[in-house]
Amino acid sequence: MNQKTYISTLNALLVSQNGPGVSSHLEQEFRNMSCIKSPTCDLNSVDGDHREFIKYFVEALVHSKNQQHTSAFEKLSESFKIFVDKSFVKGAVWTIPVIKIYSKYVRLFAESANKVQGARSTNVDDDEQSSSTEGPLGIAARQFMEVFRKVIPEKSELKESRKWVLLDIINNLLRIYFKLNTLRMCKNVIQPVESSTQLPPFEGFSTAEKVTYKYYAGRFAMYESDFVKARERLQYAFTHCHPGAENNKRMTLRYLICVNLVIGCTPKQSLLTRYGMDEFSDLVKGYRVGNLKLFQESLDKHQMLFIRKGIYLILDKAKIVVFRNLFKNIAALHKDPSRLPLKNLKICLDHLGYDMDVDEVECMMSVLIYKGYIKGYLSHAKQTAVLGKKNAFPALERQHISD
């Protein structure tokens, strides 16, 4: 298909308000860039309402083909703004598929422009690049937020509501906030979804949209140290992710494992093997039996990987459960399991190569008691932990990660 025919077809689809057709036609060219070759084209035959939209779209693709990513983003951003202002009006539900595909590529073009402008950082993972909120990604986020604010007050019937575009817009915003490391902004767009009154029923959105939302909302809950909520969201994303999307499942599982370890749950070795998560194998073994040495050695061995993936500090938080498991094992071997001299705990820690003085052991025990991992109290005068005679070590959750 040549450029003239492509534009003529796009115009006809827009005039007939064939949203799915427009979306498919646009994505075909976004993916292949095989029809649009010149920024100059005759638009006299194009409907007046869509002329500027198509003009900037054509220019954006030509710039992109020429690796002029900043100019490509600027043109596509302008094209998106024109479509939102002129076509995305109340009741125009046909535009929803177009907004969705356009917002995806506005974000992708913004990412490319950011890289060109030297915003790429080397101290975080590829899916979390720091950047200025004044750069292309920041501009894209503001455009998406304008769509969000335009639609969120709408009171139309569900079948005529533009709110069906919102979860996609929210997902794009969450992606950007994580890339820009402006996580404080996430709460503004997560709250309307969780309120269940401002958006259509969650189950009515596509599986892909729901999985993406749960993944980012789960990671945000993890950032907020709400590990129970993080686990619920990440488990949903992992369970409902397409079976063929192995990389996405692996990415979700990495965070889900960390959250579960903080709560007190461990993944099965078969799950780690299946998804190639060998970096967690020794860590989980040490965690499970209270082997602080093995846990710490594994944490140190894979430190750079864990830091790069943004999970090192979360895993370090899980260390308290390893202490709990170790002290439980020591108590089981002790002549009087309700009386644990702190010096005996220190001797065991020394044996594991974990250097702590008695005061530090006392501090750790007090934290375990305070957080409910152990029932009992500390006798500072006798340097002894006095444990409850029944259920001194309350059971941790045994809910396994399900695929």
For residue range 189-204, what is the model confidence (pLDDT) as tens digits? 999 999 878 899 999 9
Same domain, 33 and 147: yes
Q: What's the number of domains the chain is made of?
A: 3
Same domain, 90 and 133: yes
Q: Is 213 inside any structural domain?
A: yes
The CATH number of residue 342's host domain is: 1.10.10.10
Report the range of poorest mean pLDDT among 4-13, 114-123, 135-144.
114-123
**What's the pLDDT score for residue 129?**
47
Q: Is 402 inside any structural domain?
A: no
**What's the pLDDT score for residue 121?**
45
Q: Is residue 156 within 8 Å of residue 162, measured between CB atoms?
A: yes
Bridge partner residues of 376 (DSSP): 387
Same domain, 222 and 87: no
Bridge partner residues of 378 (DSSP): 385
Give the type of residue at 109: F
Nearest to 24 by CA among 103, 86, 97: 97
**What's the pLDDT score for residue 355?**
84
124 pLDDT above the threshold of 50: no
Alpha-helical segments (H) within 118-245: 136-151, 166-180, 186-195, 207-223, 227-240
Cβ burial, residue 328 (10 Å; 0-12/13-18/19+): middle
Q: How far apart are CA 305 and CA 206, in angstroms?
A: 33
Q: How far apart are CA 383 and CA 368, in angstroms?
A: 16
Q: How far apart are CA 93 and CA 196, in angstroms?
A: 21
Strands lying side by side in the sheet with 339-341 = 339-341, 384-387, 376-379
Q: Collapse the DSSP code of 39 into the 3-class scheme (helix H, G, I; strand E, B; otherwise coil) and give the result.
A: coil
Where among 317, 339, 361 does a domain terminate?
317
Same domain, 31 and 180: yes
Q: Is 242 inside any structural domain?
A: yes
Q: How far apart are CA 318 and CA 160, in angstroms?
A: 48
Q: Is 400 inside any structural domain?
A: no
Same domain, 133 and 29: yes
Same domain, 303 and 256: yes
> Could you list the residue range(s) of the whole structural domain that residue 166 is in?
3-189
Same domain, 23 and 108: yes
Same domain, 240 and 379: no
216 pLDDT above the threshold of 70: yes
Cα separation values, 9 from 13, 215, 225, 372, Å: 6, 37, 51, 66
Which helix (H) or strand (E) segment is 387 a member of?
Answer: strand 384-387
**Residue 398: pLDDT band with limits 50, 70, 90:** low
**What's the pLDDT score for residue 376?**
92
For residue range 26-53, what is the model confidence (pLDDT) as tens digits? 999 999 888 888 887 777 778 778 899 9
Where among 270, 301, 317 does a domain terminate?
317
Q: Is 52 inside any structural domain?
A: yes
Q: How far apart are CA 5 and CA 132, in angstroms?
A: 40
Same domain, 107 and 145: yes
Q: Is residue 283 within 8 Å of residue 298, measured between CB atoms?
A: yes
Where among 160, 189, 218 does a domain terminate?
189
Q: Is 29 inside any structural domain?
A: yes
161 pLDDT above the threshold of 50: yes
End-to-end Cα spacing for the chain: 44
The DSSP bridge pattern shows strands 339-341 and 384-387 to be antiparallel
Q: Is residue 291 within 8 Å of residue 285, measured between CB atoms?
A: yes
Same domain, 29 and 127: yes
Q: How far apart are CA 105 and CA 76, in angstroms?
A: 8
**What's the pLDDT score for residue 400?**
47
Q: How far apart are CA 177 and CA 125, in angstroms?
A: 14
Same domain, 371 and 276: no
Nearest to 402 by CA among 285, 249, 178: 249
**What's the pLDDT score for residue 133?**
67
Same domain, 264 and 160: no
